[in-house]
Chain A
Amino acid sequence: MLGELFKVDNFSAFVGTFAAFFTVLIAVYSFGFMRGQKGLARYYLYIALTLISSLGAIFANNLVVFVVFWGFLGFLLYLLIEFGNKERTSATARKSLIIVGGTDAFMLLGVALIWLINGSFQMDELAITLDNKFAILAYLLLAIGAFAKAGAMPFHTWIPDMAEDAPTPVTAFLPASLDKLLGIYFLGRISLDIFQMNDAMNMFLMGVGSFTIVAAVMMALVQHDLKRLLGYHAVSQVGYMVLGIGTGNPLGIAGGIFHMLNHAIYKSCLFLSGGAVEKKAGTTDLEKLGGLVKVMPITFITFLIGSLAISGVPPFNGFASKWMIYQGIIELGKNGGGWWIVWLMAAMFGSALTLASFMKLVHAIFLGQPSNERAIAGNKKQEVGITMLFPAVLLAVFCIIFGVFAYAVPLTMFIFPSLNEGVAFDGVWNSGIATTLILLAIVLGAIIYFLGRMAKTRRTESFVGGEFLEKNADMRLSGVEFYNTIQDVGILKFIYRLAGKKLFDIYEVGGKIASGFTATLRFLHNGVLPTYLVWCLLGMLAIFYVVFK
């Protein structure tokens, strides 16, 4: 019986291992971050339950069992967000529950349709071709569930809100790592095993992916809050994974799944480093930070490595998986058609936009001048405790290892065994030699330094055209205003204004439509006697008309 409900294969074993790995890291981190908060016993209970439900969903072989565990996760997410102590925390928790839980209902409908088509809930027995309306509808309904969990557009809006309002470890735990693993795992399952994809559906996936990459990163570019900005990136990166799976060739799919793993690593690293800044400085408002590099040097290094990895700078891990996805896309070009160049441009330009928003973050938090409102005065070194440093450092080390030894470690050990087909690269990337040479080149450059009078550096005032920085407190760029130029270019100005009004937020729009209905009903029942009499009269006239016409 149990054998029918659960099944372990290479793919689920790999995703399950990393789900457990991230849970342990987050639990360790929470010892430091959540210290002194109320209800910690409940907090750790929820974390443990989340892991159990995730493992249940990952190893489930029966779609009903899967949906049950998946549903638990949405509820646990709600409970965990409630540990935040911001003003809007409850509203955000409700929003997340409604989006994630609401899409669970779609999934249930999809599972019912699968029963209608095949009469089976066994995932390993299904191989449905997308040749009739029901099959396509069933795939879309299940994909919506995966999109909402992973945060692809347009079901993403709970992630930036939650990133801002929930406790940082919770954000690093769910939307940044576990929910990505689960959402993309399920998308991979339905696209690779349960359904037989066709070109049109792949096209749909790639469209969603490309749009998600660019739109979310454009929103990230203009954010003022550290955690909210990272939240938008958690959305944008999903685009790469969906795009990779949508290419439909082994190289792109392997790249998409590899990117899922890499994303979980560097995004958790970024959130955990950001959480350390929040813990010390007491705020995540970019206007109120700055110049923390000397105060928190280790956090700066972990954050910088995470930033370089997410921006796809070689030889870090983000580059390795993006490079595979690009090859998967270019592979499509060989079959004719011109859409691949659109997907490729979206993915590669998205990468430049990602670099831009992380340059802004690195400047606003660690480099640049400190804000006058910064909570930590001076430059004295004060790092967070070891329980908060260790997970971030470990993840940063993983960013390097999974990039430099991409082929030997993650690809050979986890990714390739998960796929049924063999993967052959089209391009060339010898990360080992490249890293050796770049290190050597840095050493050679350092020799040039020592040819000069590098050993004797002298400290001076900075030169600002003859003015003195100390006397002019307002002579400071926080970094928040960096991309205002971009924001004002042509049609972007219009789009940003609409986005500011939350016109692209499915929750807000859905809410408006729902309250439109209730407003109509409220108009009918306004409690004024003459109105009711008019309704009675109108009703009577209608009946008379029908009866006596």
Chain B
Amino acid sequence: MSDILYLIIYGFVVTALVGFLASWFERKITARLQYRVGPPLLQPVYDIVKLLGKETLVPFGVSKATFLSAPLLGLASVALVSTLLWVNTLNPGKTFIGDLVVVLYLLTIPSMSMMIGGFASRNPLASLGASREMKLILSYELPFLLAVFVPVIKGGFSIKLGELLSFQAQNGVFGGGASGVLAFVVAILCVQAKIGFVPFDVAEAETEISGGLLIEYSGSSLAIFKVMKNMLLCTLPLFLIVIFFGGLRFDGINALYSLLKYIGILFLIIVIKNTNPRVRIDHAVRFFWGPVMVLAILAVVLAFKGL
């Protein structure tokens, strides 16, 4: 029963609220950087409410069940992985649902659900966008995995999130060492691609393939994808904090540190987004398999040396 409460409170309510705030923060900063005023605080919520009020369009000849259930699958997986991360962060002693490998696999499902939705749209632009999303996953997956296993190497070969956290509580955070810094740089670039932000927004590329894999989505179904993407803005930084910066704590002064960690990572993501143009998909593949991969290997080698 408490599991269900965890899901509703942490998985949906907290994650979505933080996600909406993060989305507003991102849009506001972007606007300020472009000398615009920017949206009001509740704008992400208004967007969702507006979309829920619109009718849902389904293209001719499309399987309605597949088309409309793809967003649900994505939302559910993000909710599950958020619940997992929150509960493990707040109670490191409790081994809840899964470990690091489970988190890595669950984090692929949102992209996968968007691809299935795009494929189901029966639209060549959506298919093109979805195929780019898949190629993007292939390009960032290898460096991302290497970066994520740097904490495992340094933390005594445990893949339990709780043990990684308590190791950091005793011996200092993984992001403190040379290998940790490198791995974090690699991981944040990959997270940028996972969220689908510029410069890695090739799958949606509004100005080129008009929304790509989301092109046929409208109304409630689009609203769910938007909620999912906002929630990812909470979940993915949280994941980085857990494995590189010792998780979140809310007692006394630690609450401030936790807030700073989150805002810091979010800010980095926003800066990368606003200072880069969109890359082409083959450039993205070369970028991740080339320089980023070298950095990731270097991080792993340093971790083996104990740095």
Contacts and interface: CB of A to CB of B under 8 A. Distances in A.
Interface of A: 291, 293-294, 297, 300, 312-314, 319, 323, 326-327, 330-331, 333-334, 338, 341, 344-345, 348-349, 352-353, 355-356, 359-360, 362-363, 367-369, 379, 426-430, 433-434, 436-442, 444-446, 448-449, 451-454, 456-465, 469, 475-477, 479, 482-483, 485-486, 488-490
B98 A429 contact: yes
27 contacts: A291-B122, A313-B112, A314-B102, A323-B102, A326-B101, A330-B152, A338-B304, A341-B153, A344-B145, A349-B141, A355-B112, A355-B134, A356-B138, A367-B63, A369-B127, A426-B158, A427-B98, A429-B97, A441-B75, A441-B77, A441-B80, A446-B72, A449-B68, A452-B219, A454-B221, A457-B56, A486-B285
Contact of A451 (B52, B123, B127, B285): B52
Nearest to B211: A463
Contacts of A379: 61
Contacts of B272: none
A485 B76 CA distance: 31
Contact of A437 (B7, B160, B282): B7
Given A326-B101, A434-B98, A437-B83, 11 more contacts: A359-B134, A427-B101, A438-B76, A441-B7, A441-B75, A445-B71, A446-B72, A453-B55, A459-B58, A460-B57, A486-B285
A362 B119 contact: yes
A405 B55 CA distance: 40
A477 B134 contact: no
B79 interface: yes
A349 B124 contact: no
Contacts of A291: 61, 122
Contacts of B72: 442, 445-446, 449
Nearest to B125: A464
A459 B59 contact: yes
Contacts of B109: 313
Contacts of B124: 369, 464, 469, 475-477
Contacts of A360: 131, 134
B66 interface: yes
Nearest to B106: A314
A331 B159 CA distance: 10
For A323, A352, A461, which residue has the most chain B Cβ atoms within 10 angstroms?
A352
Contacts of B60: 459-462
Nearest to B149: A341
B131 A445 contact: no
B113 to A, nearest CB: 10
A485 B281 contact: yes
Nearest to A476: B124
A339 B138 CA distance: 22
A327 B99 CA distance: 11
A368 B119 contact: yes
Given A359-B115, A369-B122, A485 B285 contact: yes
A277 to B, nearest CB: 15
Contact of B220 (A352, A430, A452, A485): A452
Nearest to A477: B127
A326 B59 CA distance: 42
Interface in B204-231: 210, 215-216, 219-221, 223-224, 227
B286 A438 contact: no
Give the dominant DSSP class at B's interface.
helix
A359 B130 contact: yes
Contacts, number: 260
A449 B58 contact: no
A457 B304 contact: no
For A367, A488, A489, which residue has the most chain B Cβ atoms within 10 angstroms?
A367
Contacts of B57: 457-460
**Nearest 3 interchain pairs by C-beta:** A452-B220, A452-B52, A441-B76
Given A345-B145, A434-B97, A462 B59 contact: yes
Contact of B99 (A427, A479, A486, A489): A427
Interface residues of B, number: 89
Given A293-B63, A428-B102, A356 B137 contact: yes
A433 B73 CA distance: 17
B159 A330 contact: yes
B252 interface: no
Contacts of A477: 124, 127-128, 131
B213 to A, nearest CB: 11
B135 A445 contact: no
A335 to B, nearest CB: 10
A433 B125 contact: no
Contacts of B52: 448, 451-453
A453 B54 contact: yes
A345 B54 CA distance: 45
B293 to A, nearest CB: 11
Contacts of B141: 348-349, 352
B98 A349 contact: no
For A300, A437, A446, A469, which residue has the most chain B Cβ atoms within 10 angstroms?
A437
Contacts of A427: 98-102, 159-160
A489 B285 contact: yes
Interface string B133-160: 0110110011001100100110001111
Contacts of B45: none
Interface in B279-307: 281-282, 285-286, 289, 300, 304
Given A333-B157, A485-B135, A352 B55 contact: no
Contact of B59 (A300, A368, A436, A461): A461
B61 A428 contact: no
Contact of B210 (A333, A426, A465): A465
Given A323-B101, A341-B153, A453-B219, A349 B142 contact: yes
B80 A434 contact: yes
For A291, A323, A363, which residue has the most chain B Cβ atoms within 10 angstroms?
A363
Contact of A363 (B69, B99, B130, B285): B130
Given A341-B149, A457-B56, A462 B121 contact: yes
Contact of B138 (A293, A352, A362, A460): A352
A352 B11 CA distance: 25
Contacts of B224: 445, 448-449
A448 B220 CA distance: 8
A437 B3 contact: yes
B35 interface: no
A290 to B, nearest CB: 9
B221 to A, nearest CB: 8
A548 to B, nearest CB: 69
A363 B119 CA distance: 6
Contact of A352 (B3, B66, B83, B137): B137
B248 interface: no
Given A359-B112, A359-B115, A438-B76, A454 B56 contact: yes
Given A349-B141, A441-B80, A428 B56 contact: no
Nearest to A488: B282
B80 A452 contact: no
Contacts of A486: 135, 138, 285
A516 B4 CA distance: 70
B97 A430 contact: yes
A485 B286 CA distance: 10
